[in-house]
Amino acid sequence: MKRFFVFLLKTCGIILGAVVIVNVSIVLGSAPYIYETVEEAPEADLVLVLGAAVYSNGNLTPLFKDRVDTAIALYNAKKVKDILVSGDNGTLEHNEVNPARVYLLKQGIPDKDIFLDHAGFDTYSTLYRARDVFGVKSVLITTQSFHLSRALFIARMLGLHAYGVAADNHVPLLKNYVRELFADEKAVFDVIVHRVPKYLGEPIPITPEGQPH
């Protein structure tokens, strides 16, 4: 029994050590590509807003609103020409992207410059689809700091010229940080096995004329 507990402790230690190494490597590797302000950010083809939850009445949750507001600031600063919003639209009842579009329109963003990805079911799928479906090559990603390093790691491993702008006006919940600890390991696995998203479809390249919503 004692040997079993020693073995168990060693195994847990190895797993914990691997998790720490992966997470720290992703954070440190992505750090040079993260900007704290809109003014510091480089120019890119578009800004990608990573999806988040919305309220049942269609209003954006604080974290999602921060991401969209940062995208608007980048657009108004002429850092980008287009805004791509990605999110989960897996059912009629769950739609993250259309509420963001409505919000963008209310803030004066032209409809022709708003693009929606209804099949961004996770960060990896979103970035894979941005590259293969929407033809994105250079991108500014906006999300909270706890999420941004992983998003940039995936984007750059997929060959995108990606930079990030932190959207940190509201303090995330503890569960967001806890979830991210294990999401980093999944991101590494997805990259290694070259996972193909469940939904791809025909290319819909982003053009100045816009696209159907």
**Residue 38, domain member (yes or no):** yes
**Residue 212 has what pLDDT?**
46
> How much is the pTM?
0.86
In order along its 213 residues, the chain shows pLDDT tens digits of 667 666 566 666 665 666 667 788 898 989 999 998 999 999 999 999 998 888 888 899 999 999 999 999 999 999 999 999 998 755 555 578 899 999 999 999 999 999 999 888 899 999 999 999 999 999 999 999 889 999 999 999 999 999 999 998 876 655 665 666 678 888 999 999 999 998 888 888 886 655 544
Strand partners, 47: 83, 140
| Cα 84 to the center of its chain, rounded Å | 11
H runs (alpha helix) in the chain: 2-30, 62-76, 97-106, 123-132, 145-157, 174-193
**Residue 47 has what pLDDT?**
97
Residues 6+ positions from 178 with CB-CB distance below 8 Å: none
DSSP secondary structure of 7-38: HHHHHHHHHHHHHHHHHHHHHHHHGGGEESST
Residues 6+ positions from 73 with CB-CB distance below 8 Å: 38
Amino acid at 65: K
**Residue 209 has what pLDDT?**
55
Q: For residues 181 and 199, what is the distance between their CA atoms, to the nearest angstrom? A: 26
**Residue 172, domain member (yes or no):** yes
**Residue 69, domain member (yes or no):** yes
**Containing structural domain, residue 7:** 2-193
**Residue 129 has what pLDDT?**
95
**Residue 7, domain member (yes or no):** yes
- What b-and-e string marks burial along 151-166, b requiring 16 or more CB atoms within 10 Å of the CB? bbbbbbbbebebbbbb
**Residue 200, domain member (yes or no):** no
Q: For residues 130 and 146, what is the distance between their CA atoms, to the nearest angstrom? A: 21
**Residue 18 has what pLDDT?**
63
**Residue 6, domain member (yes or no):** yes
Residues 6+ positions from 114 with CB-CB distance below 8 Å: 82, 83, 85, 101, 104, 105, 210, 213
Which residue, among 202, 69, 185, has the nearest Cα to 129 in the 3D structure?
Answer: 202
Q: Are 125 and 154 in contact (CB under 8 A)?
A: no
**Residue 201, domain member (yes or no):** no
**Residue 20, domain member (yes or no):** yes
Q: What is the tally of structural domains in the chain?
A: 1
The CATH number covering residue 18 comes to 3.40.50.620
Element (H, E) at 194: none
Token output for 82: 């287009």
